[in-house]
């Protein structure tokens, strides 16, 4: 399977409610819709050509956890981030944020397991915010208490993720300008068994739900990987994929897990709302890339 990525925006995230999305940093009359974009700078980097006037937030991706601190794995990243921040001169409405993590990015579990480790990371984060005059941070830990990407994971990650978000929020609120704190959350239910969702949402402005890659390398069949509408069993009963889903459900039952569902934006947003998440804090993702088999 190949990832057919545009060199421009990885994905755009749009808030699902039209009322005062930034509950902490913005007055109700200033903005009614949050439109964010994760952005990985391409080789021929020209941030002045990005449609920044169409965004409220752009999330530069990615920094990493390096020796327990937030940092860049290559020297060019910092220079490119500064070039993006400089675009605020022409787009004063824009909030420039920095994402930490991404698929396969480890270090989170070991960093967050002690109070000292979390403090070291949080202080390095504050230094990054100050150095580049950032407007916020996005935590892209994929995933607490789950080693799907081959990263370090432990059961204590569930509570430690909450503590990390709390300590980030507290230190970011001490800065002299408003800060946005978000985290990337999965588009499937099992992830939410591994985090303390409602506790985390006390400290986050938004949860950026990764409603993409819903069909990928783990499935033997094609499908829309960033589907909006719910797809029920009845919709695929006459398709080859139906038998595959039945097999996965049987395996899930043996493992004591919930039945596997075909993923979609509608189903995971409904689930998050059922868990008590404020719709003003939910941001859904739409991919600007395709998948091929």
Confidence (pLDDT) at 267: 93
Task: Kindly tell me the sign of the dihedral angle through the C-alpha atoms of 17, 18, 22, 23.
Answer: negative
Does 209 share its domain with 188?
A: yes
Evaluate if residue 181 carries a pLDDT over 70: yes
Same domain, 246 and 209: no
**What is the b/e burial string over 192-219, where b = at least 16 CB atoms within 10 angstroms of the residue's CB?**
bebbbbeebbebbbbbbbbbbbbbeeeb
d(CA 200, CA 153): 18
| Residues 225 and 257 occupy one common structural domain | no
Q: Examine the domain organization and report whether 238 and 142 are in the same domain.
A: no
Domain hosting residue 123, numbered range: 2-229+264-292
Is 198 found in the same domain as 239? no
Q: Are residues 132 and 247 in the same domain?
A: no
- Please state, in angstroms and rounded to a whole number, the distance separating the CA atoms of residues 272 and 16: 12
151-155, 158-162, 219-223, 239-243: which range is least confident on average? 219-223
Which CATH number belongs to the domain containing residue 73 in this structure?
Answer: 3.20.20.80
pLDDT band, very low/low/confident/very high, at 29 (cuts 50, 70, 90): very low
pLDDT value of residue 198: 98
Residue (of 254, 247, 201) closest to 220 by Cα position: 247
CB atoms within 10 A of CB 146: 17
pLDDT higher than threshold 60 for residue 53 = yes
Q: Which residue has the higher pLDDT, 257 or 183?
A: 183
Q: Spell out a b/e string for 236-264, using b for 16 or more CB atoms within 10 Å of the CB, else e.
A: beeeebeeebeebbeeeeeeeeeebbbbb
| pLDDT tens track for 132-178 | 999 999 999 999 999 989 999 999 999 999 999 999 999 999 999 99
CB 165 within 8 A of CB 183: yes
* The two three-digit tokens of residue 125, written as one number: 């984060």
When pLDDT is cut at 50, 70 and 90, the band that residue 3 belongs to is: very low
Mean pLDDT, range 166-192, rounded to an integer: 97
Q: In this structure, are 180 and 247 located in the same domain?
A: no
pLDDT of residue 159: 98
**What pLDDT score does 12 carry?**
64
Same-domain pairing of 251 and 275: no
Q: Which of 79-88, 241-250, 269-278 has the lowest mean pLDDT?
A: 241-250
Residue 185 has pLDDT above 90, yes or no: yes
Cα–Cα–Cα angle for 272, 264, 181, rounded to 5 degrees: 45
Task: Assess whether 46 and 155 both reside in one domain.
Answer: yes
pLDDT at 4 over 60: no
**Per-residue pLDDT, 234:** 86
Dump strand ranges (E) for 125-174. 136-140
Shared domain check, 256 and 173: no
Structural domain count of the chain: 2
**13 phi, psi to nearest 5 deg:** -120, 135
- The mean pLDDT value for 106-119 works out to 98
Query: Would you state the pLDDT for residue 220?
Result: 82
Give the mean model confidence (pLDDT) for residues 100-125.
98
Q: What percent of the chain has pLDDT over 70?
A: 90
Is there a single domain that holds both residue 125 and residue 247? no
pLDDT band at residue 257 under the 50/70/90 scheme: confident
Strands (DSSP E) contained in the chain are 2-5, 11-15, 35-39, 57-66, 69-71, 95-101, 136-140, 180-186, 206-210, 282-287, 289-292
Question: Which of the pair, 143 or 19, is modelled with greater confidence?
Answer: 143
Same domain, 116 and 253: no
pLDDT score for 16: 67
In the numeric block, the tokens 């370090």 are attached to 152
Whether 24 has a pLDDT exceeding 70, the answer reads no
């Amino acid at each position: 399977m190949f990832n057919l990525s545009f060199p421009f925006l990885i994905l755009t995230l749009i808030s699902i409610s039209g009322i005062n999305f930034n509950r902490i940093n913005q007055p109700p009359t200033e903005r009614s819709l949050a439109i964010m974009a994760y952005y990985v700078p391409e080789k021929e980097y020209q941030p002045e050509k990005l449609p920044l006037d169409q965004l409220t937030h752009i999330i530069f991706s990615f920094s990493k956890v390096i020796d327990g601190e937030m940092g860049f794995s290559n020297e060019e990243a910092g220079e490119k981030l500064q070039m993006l921040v400089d675009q605020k001169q022409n787009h004063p409405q824009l909030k420039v944020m920095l994402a930490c993590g991404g698929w396969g990015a480890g270090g989170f579990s070991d960093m967050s397991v002690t109070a000292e480790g979390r403090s070291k990371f949080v202080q390095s984060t504050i230094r990054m915010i100050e150095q580049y005059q950032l407007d916020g941070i996005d935590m892209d830990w994929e995933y607490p208490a789950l080693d799907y990407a081959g990263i370090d994971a432990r059961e204590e990650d569930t509570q430690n993720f909450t503590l990390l978000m709390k300590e980030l929020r507290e230190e970011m609120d001490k800065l002299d300008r408003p800060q946005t704190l978000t985290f990337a959350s999965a588009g499937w239910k099992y992830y939410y068994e591994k985090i303390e969702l409602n506790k985390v949402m006390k400290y986050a402005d938004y949860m950026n739900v990764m409603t993409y890659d819903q069909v990928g390398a783990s499935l033997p069949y094609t499908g829309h990987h960033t589907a909006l509408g719910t797809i029920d069993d009845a919709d695929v009963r006459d398709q080859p994929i139906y038998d595959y889903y039945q097999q996965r459900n049987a395996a899930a039952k043996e493992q004591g897990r919930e039945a596997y569902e075909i993923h979609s934006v509608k189903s995971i947003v409904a689930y998050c709302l059922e868990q008590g998440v404020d719709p003003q804090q939910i941001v859904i993702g739409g991919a600007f890339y395709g998948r091929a088999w």
